[in-house]
Amino acid sequence: MEDLLRNDFTAHYGIPVCTEPNLVIQTSETYFEIEDTTTKEITLHRTDGEGMARFSNPNSLVITIANYDKFVTSLPIHFQNGRKRCDIIVCDDERNLIFGEIKDSPNIKQHRKKAKKQLYESLTTLLAVPQFLALSNNKIVKRCCYFNKQTNSPAILTATTAFNRLSTIFQDGFQMSHPGIEGHNFEFWEYLGGHTFTLT
């Protein structure tokens, strides 16, 4: 993934090779959470509740997490200006390829709308790169995911705890419709509060 971004992506778009450090981290932890810090870095946590996006990795797969937002922000101004981008790309050598937009905000509806645009444009930008398209074609689980650490109650409820029961029943998130993302053979999923993405 790192070589693909630094070299193949930049060559495809005719921009200089990216030299930004610390674009990618790896883990094989059976449980981890990802935090997007205010300094545009991504941090891994192993303690429940410390990150924004939660992942279960029961088979201890080697997971690569690319800081796509940081990568695009490091590119020439004429390329990055106006280009929407998601926060992270998560993949392994087996089945999974995940685009993620991660938040910790109570304004879920507003951020969901923005996240859909960021995920769709990121997907479109990357699938135009032949090497990334080839990587994508080899994956089975392909998702664009909106992760929000917080959850909120539907309008008819006033007790957040009542809504939180949904994340206990449906711990693996919710699949939602997005024709543009689906047109690229990806799915759009939403993970709120205690929802956890299980990598298989």
The residue that leads in pLDDT, 106 or 75, is 75
pLDDT-based confidence at residue 152 (cuts at 50, 70, 90): low
pLDDT for the residue numbered 107:
86
pLDDT for the residue numbered 142:
98
Place of tokens 């200089």: 16
Task: Report the percentage of the chain scoring pLDDT > 70.
Answer: 90
Task: Work out whether strand 53-56 and strand 197-198 pair parallel, antiparallel, or are unpaired.
Answer: parallel
Place of tokens 């690319």: 66
Collapsed DSSP state (helix, strand, coil) of residue 11: helix
Q: What is the Cα–Cα distance from 72 to 83, expressed in whole angstroms?
A: 9
| 16-20, 108-112, 124-128, 166-170: range with highest mean pLDDT | 124-128
Closest to 177 in 3D by CA, of 195, 191, 193, 189: 189
Exposure letters 25-52 (e unless 16+ CB within 10 A, then b): bebeeeebbbbbeeeeebebbeeeeebb
Q: Are 145 and 132 in contact (CB under 8 A)?
A: no
Give the side-chain half-sphere CA count within 13 A for 113.
3
Above 80 in pLDDT, residue 121?
A: yes
Above 50 in pLDDT, residue 168?
A: no
pLDDT for the residue numbered 166:
47
Task: Work out the mean pLDDT of the chain and round it to a whole number.
Answer: 90
pLDDT for the residue numbered 170:
52
Q: Are 136 and 187 in contact (CB under 8 A)?
A: no
**For 38-92, how does the pLDDT look when each residue is reduced to its tens digit (9 = 90+)?**
888 999 999 999 999 999 999 999 999 999 999 999 999 999 999 999 999 999 9
What is the mean pLDDT of the segment spanning 115-120?
Answer: 97
